[in-house]
Amino acid sequence: MGLFGFGDKKGAEAAPKPMAAATLSDGTSVQITEVVDCIGDSCPRPQLMTKKAIGKIEPGEVVEVLVDNPSSVEALPPMCDEINATHLETVKGERSWHVYIRKD
């Protein structure tokens, strides 16, 4: 048991993840299951973090990857075939890109 009875997670159910939504350029709305914040990270960290996030979610769920490194933006879509996922879209924001990837 943790200090003062806190921190003991045995037997505790995980709280449901709050889901955010994103609208793609074709008007399709997707529910974001996991957000991977790779702002300030360079290769290969965004790819490794994305692979880990895809491994944690269920088929059909979507990961949003936030990156500000141009080489990472270029590396994520081709990687999707290797991790059993589909690149849905990359959206350029004011200071970063939002890459949407769905697990197959």
Residue 92 has pLDDT above 60, yes or no: yes
Distances (CA, A) of 29 to 8, 73, 90: 38, 21, 14
31-61 pLDDT per residue, tens: 999 999 999 999 999 999 999 999 999 999 9
pTM of the model: 0.82
- Whether 43 is catalytic is yes
What's residue 17's pLDDT?
Answer: 56
Residue-level pLDDT at 67: 98
Q: Which of 14, 19, 42, 43 is catalytic?
A: 43
pLDDT digits 0-9 by tens, 61-90: 999 999 999 999 999 999 999 999 999 999
Give the DSSP H/E element, type plus range, for residue 92. strand 85-92
